[in-house]
Amino acid sequence: MNIPFVRPSLPPRAAPGRRARAGARSLAMRLALLLAAAPVAAQIATQTTTPPSAAAAAPAGPQVPPDVLARALALAAEAARAVAPREARVEVEPGRLDARLTLAPCARIEPYLPSGVPAWGRTRVGLRCTEGAKRWNVFLPVAVQVWAPARVTAAALPAGARLSESQLSLAVVDWAAASTPPVGPNEDLAGRTLARAVASGQPLRAADVQPRQWFALGDHVRIQASGSGFSIVAEGRALATGVEGQAVRVRVLTERSDGGPVLVAWPVGDHRVEVSL
């Protein structure tokens, strides 16, 4: 018996053209969604990658009128020149007033140097309103630089090293970079001992070298006493070791005995002291 083969029925296959059109519509919808979201994504990316410092600038403080600023800087420069070496070049750079200040209008502003504040290094100049509905007083930060020759090291040296002229040179440095001035070009440092290590090219200051001993206990010394309009020279005997920069007691010697008055003096050289009366 012949059994006929029956092919199972399958769902009708979509025509190639219709399927292609359906895929194109789906792709177009996806592209449209991506394009619509692109500006939002770009905006979010821009907001998250912009640094805060660029988004908002630091607030500036009150502005000082140009003529007042010029007088303030000239005042600081004049005060610095009074204590600077004769050949020094003085430069004064202004800072900014505190951004939190709110100053009332003023017809006349007078700059001044605060009492006890040196015109040296990072310091300040006072500004006071003398003609205005509301008086005020503020301080302008300034940086004073004093450029002049000084003794510097030609190479790095350790603490305890004894200095020689071959280890030293001259260079123009900022004397106001520290509270104490550097050693000037005419001061002799040969034979002095370093109190601490120094770098190459570093200006030497008083604290960098060990103080000199000018005389010993019991040595005879020459006393130079000076006052308003007079000067006296006498002989004395040291009651302690005379160390540079340290006050010492000396007894004045008289022709009749060595029991004269005791003075407090400052060692200034080899067996020499000075007294201010």
> How far apart, in whole angstroms, are the C-alpha atoms of residue 81 and residue 92?
11
155 vs 23, more confident: 155
pLDDT digits (tens, 9 = 90+) for 39-72: 433 333 333 333 444 444 556 678 899 999 999 9
CA distance 122 to 92: 10
Residues 72 and 140 in one domain: yes
pLDDT of residue 277: 75
The pLDDT, as a whole number, for residue 255 is 76
Query: Beta strands 121-131 and 137-153: pairing type?
Result: antiparallel
Over residues 126-145, the pLDDT tens digits come to 999 999 889 999 999 999 99
Considering only residues 187 and 248, tell me which one the structure prediction assigns the higher pLDDT. 248
Phi, psi of 153 (to 5 degrees): -85, 140
* % of residues, the chain, pLDDT over 70: 78
Residues 183 and 163 in one domain: yes
Tell me the pairing of strands 220-227 and 272-276.
parallel
Q: What is the CATH number of the domain that holds 194?
A: 3.90.1210
pLDDT of residue 257: 65
Specify if 136 maps to a domain: yes
In a domain, 132, yes or no: yes
Cα angle vertex 234, ends 228, 237, to 5°? 125
CA distances, 90 to each of 175, 180, 198, 261 (Å): 10, 16, 26, 46
Banded model confidence at residue 231, pLDDT cuts 50, 70, 90: confident
Give pTM, 2 decimals.
0.62
- Residue for token digits 């017809």? 107
Contact of 140 with 62, CB cutoff 8 Å: no
Residue with tokens 């000037």: 184
Q: What total of structural domains would you count in the chain?
A: 3
Paired sense of beta strands 242-243 and 213-215, if any: antiparallel
Q: Give the end of a domain, one of 184, 208, 232.
A: 208
CB of 145 within 8 A of CB of 168? Answer: no
Query: Could you list the residue range(s) of the whole structural domain that residue 235 is in?
Result: 213-276
Q: Determine the pLDDT at residue 31.
A: 46
Amino acid of residue 63: Q
